A and B are shown apart, each in its own frame.
Chain A
Amino acid sequence: MTPPRLDNSPPLIESCLDDETLERLIAEDLRGDASQAAHDHLRRCTACAARAEESGTDERLLASLRTELPDHIAALRASVRAVADGPVPWPARWPVIEGFRIVRLIGEGGSARVFEAVELRPHRRVAIRVLREPRGDGPRSRDESRFAESASILARHRHPGLPVVFAVGSTRQGEPFMAMEYCDGEPLDLVAPSLSPIARLTIVRELAAVLAHCHSHGIAHGDVKPRNILIGADHSVKLVDFGLARSLEAGAIDLTCSIRGTPAYLSPERFDGGAVDEASDLFALGVVASELLVGEHPHLEVRRVGWAEAARAASRPPRWTLRERMPTLSLAVASLLDALLSQAPAKRPQAAVVAEALTVPATAIRRRGQGILNRRRFVAAAGLGLLMVGLAVLASTASNSRPPAPSPAALKRASIIALSPDLVFDSYADLVEAGDRLRGESASESGRSRTASNLSLVEEALGNFDAAAALIEPEVMPAAPRAKGRVRRGEIISTIRLARIRVGQQRLSDAASLLGGVEAPMLDERRARQQLIVSEFHSTRALLLAAQGEVAKARDEAATALRAARELFSESGARAEERPSWFLFQRAEQAWNAVAARSGSAEDRQAAVDAATLR
């Protein structure tokens, strides 16, 4: 006799499910009691659970999928492993968000957690910021409204330095979330030690530009600090975490009156209860810039301090100024950045002014004993330095899209770029040697007048290399041993060798990816940069060869340089005001003059005149 049912729950199924029921259950074809009973049975019966798991498996098909998609499967597994290794047990405490799959926890702050996730359609990598579960009634509403405000601020104001917001909503657990562009970068404080001075200045400029954009749209960030600044592999800047941001529009007054933010980056007036505004962002920009350029916090010896100590420090003048601590920085730029730390908010320069002053970061650095390098030398130096940096940048653009077969021209371009570091280094050694020989010659009476001009050309070329070397490996070349305004030659060579090893290691892989995908429409700017490097390189080479009396080879080099300059000239026609080619024509003119001086040929002189005319 069956026991009487005490409630109206469906009867338990004691025997195993037959095939049809199992299939219908999986196909979600069962309804009502039958479905409930089958579910209950499946939960308790391991045999049926195993059958359900195996249902519909076609081993051959699976095996061929696994053979054909090894990379894809490895990536899937890696994302799951990353999850399993995470600090939070997966997935118990993780939010469930429709349309997304959470991959890992990236960071956890006071009020929110940030996850890496995959949006399912369109399929893309995203970062999801999820507000923490509320602790009580009061703070929740305020956090939520701040969260909503930051989402709407980001959604309204697009800028390359701000993450794009894709979606806003609530998780299944009811917490507000915001899905944003995934920024593939490291926080500034982690990458800072490996950056060159030029890269650091570039970052300050980019950061200032983002803040200028925000401020011009009436938004203050409120929590500018290295952790919230993500640096991409190409030194691009993303300002993230708008959790404390507020709109500065009239009427949007911050009534919370509580001080929030990171003590080491708060302006003095914020400690006195002042609201988040442009001036407080500018102060934080000043702290970040000083810290980045010098490597120390301008107010604090230790960064992790309590509110009281931070407040005391912020209310005093900084321990040092950039003018004192960074003599290589141009006075104008140093003073501007120092002014960001003014006690009086009104004295802090606007972010747009800071960005503008750093338009060409290289010009903000001067060399000992020489004042600020003249513009021409800097472009040359920047060109050579960029040769190194350019490789990585080019490789990364090239790999973004996989176009069909590259054209011969593209291949040639790629191979020039891939080969040039070596050529540059070789020609440096040649230059040194030529200089030595010419100096020896000029000691004798007869050759003096003739070699003098050649020697000055070589000296100038060497000067360009010096500047390039200073850009390539600044940390290997401490300021102290620089002798009498010129970097010692031996040091340069060893510096360049060091750089060469590093560049060499990367070169093969870079060249490979360039060859694979260089056809991708390159940004004008990158193309221009490339052309600039190629042209500058050949001009230098021509000067050197002419100085050595290799007229025919020098002529070829000068012709190549002029051709590259012309190409750049015609390509950059659209943006006449930014045309970098004037300088290249000047260099080509010099090269041709040097060739003409050696050959005495009227044609060579004409080529020099042509180059001068184009300029």
Chain B
Amino acid sequence: MSATTATSTELLNALFDPEAGAWGAFVGRYRPLIESFAERCGLSSEEARDVAQSVLLEFYRSYSEGKYQRDRGRLRDWLFGIARHRVGRLRRDPERRLLSLTEDAESGPSDVGSLWEAAWQRELLLAALARVKADVDPATFEAFELFALAGVPSKAVAESLGITENAVYGAKRRIMTRLREVRSELENLY
């Protein structure tokens, strides 16, 4: 089961089937999201990894106990609930002296919510980029990266890849369009 094409319903339905590999796909999809969120909350990358690990395990437990019902909210909202709780608990840990950065994030849920949303948008974008990259011709993708992202002049890109300048423009156009499409597909899928 692929981490980039299955809907979250499909993933959840297959979660206990070891043959389907859904757990791996599930982790592949949501671990980066939780880690990115935890880091945005001011945790170190090691702590973020720990948080992600425990959130996923807790989800697994509550899902297997039937606590999570699909019709009671989106999967990512449920995960957000667990993640927020975990991060908050870690922050309150008296053993842990966290630097000032996070102290003011002790604020209301809306702020933490926007951090989650930002992490979510990032993961969508990266997943879309990975999908598009796998779909298009490598030279086209390279042209897009060099021209649109790195800002290399189109003439230089064209010459180094042995394609025309128009092809460079075309690459940018096609890939950006495709990125937008794939991103909104994924938004509905996840």
A residues in contact (CB < 8 Å) with B? 25-28, 39, 42, 52-53, 55-58, 61-62, 64-66, 68-69, 72-73, 76-77, 80, 83, 90-92, 94, 96-99, 101-102, 118, 120-121, 123, 172, 404-405, 515-516
Q: Does B101 contact A (CB under 8 A)?
A: no
Q: Does B177 contact A (CB under 8 A)?
A: yes
What are 7 residue pairs bridging A and B, where the CB atoms are less than 8 Å apart in the complex? A27-B170, A68-B122, A69-B126, A76-B145, A101-B142, A121-B138, A404-B49
**Inter-chain contact B122/A28, CB cutoff 8 Å:** no
| A-contact bits for B170-189, CB 8 A (1 contact / 0 none) | 10111011011000000000
Stretch in B9-17, B65-73, B82-90, B152-160 touching the partner: B152-160
**Inter-chain contact A61/B179, CB cutoff 8 Å:** yes
**Of A64, A90, A98, which is within 8 A of B162 by CB?**
A98
Q: For the complex, would chain B's binding face be called helix, strand, loop or mixed by DSSP majority?
A: helix
**Inter-chain contact B160/A102, CB cutoff 8 Å:** yes
- Using known A-B contacts A68-B126, A98-B162, determine if residue A53 contacts B169 with beta carbons closer than 8 Å: yes
Chain B residues lying within 8 Å of A97, measured Cβ to Cβ, are 162
Chain B residues lying within 8 Å of A120, measured Cβ to Cβ, are 138-139, 141-142
**Inter-chain contact A73/B150, CB cutoff 8 Å:** yes
**Of A26, A64, A83, A405, which is within 8 A of B170 by CB?**
A26
Q: Which of B145, B150, B152, B179 has the most CB of A within 10 A?
A: B150
Chain B residues lying within 8 Å of A72, measured Cβ to Cβ, are 149
Q: Does B161 contact A (CB under 8 A)?
A: yes
Q: Which of B126, B129, B142 has the most CB of A within 10 A?
A: B142
**Inter-chain contact A57/B176, CB cutoff 8 Å:** yes
**Inter-chain contact B138/A99, CB cutoff 8 Å:** yes
**Inter-chain contact B125/A56, CB cutoff 8 Å:** no
**Inter-chain contact B149/A69, CB cutoff 8 Å:** yes
- Using known A-B contacts A65-B149, A76-B149, determine if residue A90 contacts B176 with beta carbons closer than 8 Å: no
Which B residue's beta carbon lies closest to that of A42?
A: B166
**Inter-chain contact A405/B125, CB cutoff 8 Å:** no
**Inter-chain contact B162/A26, CB cutoff 8 Å:** no
Taken together as a complex, chains A and B put the C-alpha atoms of A405 and B54 apart, in Å, by: 11
**Inter-chain contact B176/A56, CB cutoff 8 Å:** yes
**Inter-chain contact B176/A64, CB cutoff 8 Å:** no
**Inter-chain contact B146/A76, CB cutoff 8 Å:** yes
Q: Does B7 contact A (CB under 8 A)?
A: no
**Of A73, A123, A515, which is within 8 A of B46 by CB?**
A515
Chain B residues lying within 8 Å of A96, measured Cβ to Cβ, are 159-162
Chain B nearest Cβ from A84, distance in angstroms: 9
**Inter-chain contact B53/A56, CB cutoff 8 Å:** no
